[in-house]
Structure 1
Amino acid sequence: MERCKDTEIITYRVATVADIDQIVEIEKAAFTVPWPAEAFYQDILTNRFALYLLMEYKGVVVGYCGVWIVVDEAHITNIALLPEYRGKKLGETLMKKMMSYAKEAGAEKMTLEVRVSNIRARSLYKKLGFQEGGIRKSYYTDNQEDALVMWVNL
């Protein structure tokens, strides 16, 4: 698969408890310190502010994005794609979809944290209009790396 220009075969849906195993597999493939399944169960079952949007390509879940929408602010909790689907503009497509969803849900601003070393992700977020807002010192527990806080008006 070169580029995913077949946007008609990319679909989105809200995750349910039945999707948690797939989310956790993507999480493990994407992050050095993946969230445990319990965190996703907690969000999906009891957190009325949380929503996970799944991206499916040809019927396979290839990515997801989590958000907490509180009043007029949306906080991206995580976004991840399976490694073999990176570099095909799917992350950008998924973020745009989540930004649109959050705006429709009443959010006026969106925020996220990103590793200061993750130049690729930072570049994507800047392309989508996010601006740097601050640093969270030693935010990541695996190596104490700082997180860059980014914001965008929706």
Structure 2
Amino acid sequence: MEVSFDIMKSSHLTGVMEIENQSFPTPWSKGAFAHEICGNDFAYYIVALAHRKVVGYAGLWVVLDEGHITTLAVHPLYREEKIGSHLLNELISEAKRRGCVKMTLEARPSNFPALNLYQKNNFISAGMRPGYYSDTREDAVIMWKDLYPDAGS
């Protein structure tokens, strides 16, 4: 399957919302995504497209020299296609282009596929945020990645 990547636009939001609603217990609103792509100068959001259909998306905030992954999701029918890995690699590349030296994210401890993806890409667990998720009061695993691990040696 051929997958391409594009900057998230308003025209993608219907497809994004379909995935968002299937992927998260407390989904973001369409308005939240619209604000991210139109009103947040620190944000970078991309979509994965197969046959011009949104099959995944991911978001990044860049603040100073740190990139923060805000979201990453893939349509359930496409989750075995390595699209999540490709989206993550696109975010890592963009973070480097924008001068980041580290990346961070939060993930639910119950989200084993996400934790596995991040660990495979050298994100390291650095602690927990107690009660981070308002819907279930579930903690969040805080993960970090050094984008230039050999720079100091």
- Structure 2 length-normalised TM: 0.91
Whole-Å Cα distance in 2 between the matches of residues 32 and 40 of structure 1? 16
Q: Which residue matches 1:122?
A: 115
Whole-Å Cα distance in 1 between the matches of residues 52 and 38 of structure 2? 24
Q: Which residue matches 2:67?
A: 74
> How many residues are aligned here?
147
Q: Which residue matches 1:152?
A: 145
- Structure 1 length-normalised TM: 0.90
Q: Which residue matches 2:151?
A: none
**TM-superposed deviation, 1:52:** 0.7
Q: Which residue matches 1:19?
A: 12
Q: Which residue matches 1:49?
A: 42
> Are the aligned partners of 2:128 and 2:140 in contact in 1 as well (CA < 8 Å)?
yes
1:143 aligns with 2:136: yes
> Are the aligned partners of 2:15 and 2:53 in contact in 1 as well (CA < 8 Å)?
no
Query: Kindly, what percent of the aligned residue pairs are identical?
Result: 41
Question: Structure 1: which 5+ residue stretches go unaligned?
Answer: 1-5
Whole-Å Cα distance in 1 between the matches of residues 29 and 61 of structure 2? 18
**TM-superposed deviation, 1:42:** 1.3
Listed one character per residue, the Cα deviations across residues 34-89 of structure 1 (whole Å, up to 9, x for unaligned) are 00111111111111001111111232210000111112111011000111011222
Q: Which residue matches 2:105?
A: 112
The AA in structure 2 aligned to 1:77 is T
Listed one character per residue, the Cα deviations across residues 103-139 of structure 1 (whole Å, up to 9, x for unaligned) are 1121111110000111221111011010011111111
Whole-Å Cα distance in 1 between the matches of residues 8 and 80 of structure 2? 23
- Following superposition, which runs of at least 4 residues in structure 1 exceed 6 angstroms of deviation? none
Question: Structure 2: which 5+ residue stretches go unaligned?
Answer: 148-153
Whole-Å Cα distance in 1 between the matches of residues 43 and 21 of structure 2? 20
